[in-house]
Amino acid sequence: MLQYHLRSLRRLLIALLLFSTLMILVNTTFFSTPSSTNSNQTRLDSGNIIFDKKNEVKKTELLKLKFSLAKRFIRRPWADHPDCSNFTIRRTVERNLPPVALASFPGSGNTWVRGLIEAASGIYTGSIYKDANLYLHGFWGELADWDAGVTCVQKTHDSGADHIKSFSGGRSIFLNRNPYEAILSFHNFLYGGHTGHAPSSNFQRPEWPDFLVDQTRRWLATAVNWTQYSSDLLTIHYEDLKENPRPHLRRILHFLQLPVDERRLDCIQKHPPKKFHRKSRTDGQWDTNRVFPKRIRPLLDRAIRYVDYLTRKTGNGAIPVDRYSYYNKSSWKGPQPSRLAENQTWIEWISDQWGFRVESFLKDPLTNMLQEEAKTNIFYSWKIPFESKYAESNDLERDFNSGPPLFIQRIHLEKSPTKVP
């Protein structure tokens, strides 16, 4: 019986691998450079829109969009809703759109926001990662080259200065989320992919506090770098989009110089995208002090306050800390856990199984991340540039620029060669 199940699993994995390869080949073929004189194109002339950023109102021109009419990559996000079924998502021709980063720390809802932007704009979003699992779920700009000019924004979690400048000299939308929740979401992704969960037993492991410190530094470095090196920055908060997406989607479209269609925003309000919204856990409430030990929470809170300071300084408004769960000794502020039903196609179901982090069966992601950092010693080899005039700069220097967490330091000591007397 066991051999039968193993053979069935092997056949399923082979079939999925062949199917994924076929989809990649198809995408590579049809996302090739199109001719600018192709007759299967339509053009949308530019016009003026009101752009509201940094409390200033000014006029800017809409981009001149050239859409391909190739039917193979036209998707209807509300095909099952007659009142919105006429709206489509398409790709533009090559080099039609300038690269614009949609940057975030992992676990901040980047993929969910991409779905909102696609529905609001009618244009696919892209990514530097080329995730076949997302492609199978309808993100048909995922496998295009991120700088091909066929997608309106491109997902990235990287934050190096050169990488930031590669997006039209530093043009970016930075998606910020409460690090308490973003780190938990990323922890879930490491073990359960886009929709699953990590085992709660991880919270009891001795290296869990060091994992929190490591990820807090990464969250802080991501925010600081995108704020510092972006030449044109729009900061969007995940909590604001969750509460009322309409005004913030308008801001995004204005920033991208794309037309605002209020009918599309109506459809988003009535039929919001549900893909890649992780189901709430149903295994009871966590012990907050175990998940976020008391000695770690001041570090997280100081990091939040500094990012709030930088966000205000760039004219992008304050962080919505009143909705930040666990901040400043608060508790969970989100909805109560519930079991959500989700309709999936068979392709999406299979890709979810494949999308589950298979490597977590082979090696533990949490420990492996810390071990890899101890081996490479890259992330802690540079310091986060804090402004000296900021009130808590000395505390931030101590928290995040005084070396790696203890778990990484111990691995360093274990792997360092012993001196023979």
pLDDT surpassing 70 at residue 280: no
Express as a percent the part of the chain with pLDDT over 70.
Answer: 74
Kindly report the average pLDDT of the chain as a whole number.
82
Domain hosting residue 175, numbered range = 31-360
What does each C-alpha distance from 198 to 31, 189, 364, 395 come to in angstroms?
Answer: 36, 7, 11, 32
- Residue 44: predicted pLDDT: 35
Residue 366 lies in a domain: no
pLDDT surpassing 90 at residue 159: yes
Range from 17-26, 205-214, 236-245, 323-332 carrying the lowest mean pLDDT? 17-26
Residue 387 to residue 107: CA distance in whole angstroms: 27
- Residue 264: predicted pLDDT: 98
Q: Is residue 314 within 8 Å of residue 235, measured between CB atoms?
A: yes
Residue 392 lies in a domain: no
160, β-bridge pairs: none
Considering its fold, how many domains does the chain have in total? 1
pLDDT surpassing 80 at residue 46: no
Residue 134 lies in a domain: yes
Q: Which pLDDT tens digit goes with each residue over 217-233?
A: 999 999 999 999 999 99
Residue 381 lies in a domain: no
Residue 43 main-chain phi, psi, to 5 deg: -125, 140
- Residue 373: predicted pLDDT: 86
Residue 243 lies in a domain: yes
| CATH number of domain containing 127 | 3.40.50
Q: Which pLDDT tens digit goes with each residue over 192-219?
A: 877 778 888 899 999 999 999 999 999 9
Residue 305 to residue 307: CA distance in whole angstroms: 6
370: which residues sit within 8 A by CB, 6+ positions away? 207, 210, 211, 214, 405, 407, 408, 411
Residue 35 to residue 316: CA distance in whole angstroms: 39
Residue 409 lies in a domain: no
Residue 100 lies in a domain: yes
Residue 187 lies in a domain: yes
**Helices in 314-345 by DSSP H: which ranges?**
none
